[in-house]
Amino acid sequence: MVCRQKELGSEYATYLIPRFPWAAGTWFHLGMIPCVIHEDEHLLVVSKPAGWNTHAPGPFAGEGIYDWLKHRDSRWSSLSILHRLDKETSGVLVFGKTPAANRSLTQQFTDRRIRKKYFLLTDRTPPPLPFAVKTPLVRIGERYAGGAGGESAETLFTPIPDGSPDGPPDRSIAASCPGSQGLIVEPLTGRTHQIRVHAAESGFPILGDTLYGGTAAARVFLHAAEISFTHPGTGAAVTFSAPAGFEADPRQALRTALIDPDATNAFRLIHGASDGWPGWFVEKLGDFLLSQSDAPLNARQSVELCRLAKGFASYGAYHKILSRQVRRSTPTLVSPTRVFGTEAPDRFEILENGLRFELSFQEGYSVGLFLDQRDNRRRLLTGQIAAEFPLAAPGTLEARPEILNTFAYTCGFSVCAAAAGARTTSLDLSKKYLEWGQRNFARNGLDPAAHDFIYGDTFDWLRRLAKKGRAFDAIVLDPPTFSQSKEHGAFRAEKDYGRLVTAALPVLKPGGVLLASTNAADWPPEDFLAAVEGAIHGAQRKIRQRHYVPQPPDFPIHRDAPAYLKTVWLKTD
């Protein structure tokens, strides 16, 4: 296998973050999210990628784009859903930001004054165009179908005029599917699966829509291209649109929609079965790719890894064999090995939310940063945990906030808290990782001497800190699923997490925030929450606020790849 790689350089993009003390009540915002098309006082308009729900389908499922946005920024805490797109449909979504906008647009939807235009691709022959379909729709299991007793649905199908800018956006798809063609679709009503049902029942199911008899493809080729309505604030007629992008890899399109490349260049590209590759995981780590599976790369994976490396102009790619016997192996045996391209430096740098972190492929099983905690680290960086849930209410902190990061590893949480103005204490059983953490501080212009780095057993030090009368505004509990120390023996998350929370509470201030997280995949989220909240209630403390989140959207959740990461943020009295 031959892959052309670019030359290794030493320049890295910079992304400056203003640092404001939390006590001042001034929060900063990172760069605009790529999927945002428009924002004003009344509206937030986004281009939703295929493969992302509009909203979370359940309390412990992955966040939909609505949930992810609503809890991400205090400006969006009152965000409201006004219409929806199916998970596999891409395109324009409009969210309301004010009660006035919600009332106006809801009325416009009710009066059918909002016009929507979709684009679909099919490899079947439709009836002569244009034509309209009007039928009542009823739900039958996961599907919908025309049938008596359902709500009326009406759809207009029209041809794409020659030379139209709405013409087929992906001729390579058409070439690989003989007879495929594009159609413009206008849903005159807004029923669930309306376009998909009407297309299928008219004899031309949408390409990729296997639920309704379509030919299997990389995605469902249905896109909400345009929406027009009267602006609720100005009264002007407005139209928002987004290109279909059918030619893009849908997995990469999802990541491109949510990650600002100027601020973050480390994220997951392939997440196992969720992205159609069971048991295989690929991450972009700055200028390198890291592949992971329980076996050497097979031929198909090698080809895909090479394609990804070219697409992201990577210097090289590494592969790591996933093993359950990590503790019995040497760092050399469990470290990733180079597959192709330039050899990575012993230490190299990545960007995450504008901050710099040191990684290494030479230090054993872990490379220095767990990417699935990116959004949680961001919450410490911005002070925004969730809608109506700031890390600290403006003006409530009289002094520089104190953050305790247990099981700190390379101090990623600590760096984010320190960059936001907090004084941090990082606690870990490894001196090597704490030294690594201090280098991460220095990489971001943060003086490690202004913060504490404590080597030792977490349970032992929580007891010592309590005896000294130390108290913290926030505590991070993100232990490994299993660990071993001389002082307290084995720690197993499912068995000992409640005990860990109990040990941490004496050093958490009243009104303080506890971040509890685990990647114990087989531990049901209900049981995890019961263990955490049971320990809090057992200590006679009340929970004021709670926000539960699984892994971020670039670690998508699928029935064949259930959520493994469980995180809850809790404010206690």
Q: Tell me if 359 sits within 8 A of 352, measured CB to CB.
A: no
Rounded to whole angstroms, the Cα distance separating 23 from 421 reads: 9
- Give the angle 63-107-226 at the CA atoms, nearest 5°: 60
Class of domain 370-572: alpha beta
Question: In the CATH scheme, what is the homologous superfamily, with its name and number, of domain 1-27+261-347?
Answer: RNA methyltransferase domain (HRMD) like (3.30.750.80)
Phi, psi of 316 (to 5 degrees): -170, 175
CA dihedral (518, 27, 255, 206) positive or negative? positive
- Residue among 343, 339, 333, 264 at smallest CA distance from 304: 339
- Residue among 303, 330, 87, 349 at smallest CA distance from 211: 87
Q: Cα dist. 28→2, 33, 151, 185, 336 in Å?
A: 45, 14, 46, 41, 37
List where CATH 3.30.2350.10 sits in the chain.
32-250
- For 58, other C-beta atoms within 10 Å of its C-beta total 7
Residue by residue, pLDDT tens for the chain (573 residues) are 334 333 333 332 333 333 434 434 434 445 679 999 999 999 999 999 999 999 999 889 899 999 999 999 999 999 999 999 999 999 999 999 999 999 999 999 999 999 999 999 999 999 999 999 999 999 999 999 998 888 999 999 999 886 555 554 444 445 445 567 999 999 999 999 999 999 999 999 999 999 999 999 999 999 999 999 999 999 999 999 999 999 999 999 999 999 999 999 999 999 999 999 999 999 999 999 999 999 999 999 999 999 999 999 999 999 999 976 655 555 666 889 999 999 999 999 999 999 999 999 998 778 999 999 999 999 999 999 999 999 987 666 667 899 999 999 999 999 999 999 999 999 999 999 999 999 999 999 999 999 999 999 999 999 999 999 999 999 999 999 877 766 667 888 999 999 999 999 999 999 999 999 999 999 999 999 999 999 999 999 999 999 999 999 999 998 888 999 999 999 999
Q: How far is CA 458 from the centre of its chain?
A: 29
Phi, psi of 221 (to 5 degrees): -85, 65
Q: Cα dist. 33→47, 286, 526, 551 in Å?
A: 11, 19, 32, 18
List where CATH 3.40.50.150 sits in the chain.
370-572
- Residue among 391, 370, 407 at smallest CA distance from 569: 391
The domain 32-250: what is its CATH number?
3.30.2350.10
User: Both tokens of residue 248?
Assistant: 């893009």
DSSP-based three-state secondary structure for 286: coil
The residues annotated as belonging to the active site are 86
What DSSP letter does each residue of 497-548 carry, written as one string? HHHHHHHHGGGEEEEEEEEEEE--TTS-HHHHHHHHHHHHHHTT--EEEEEE
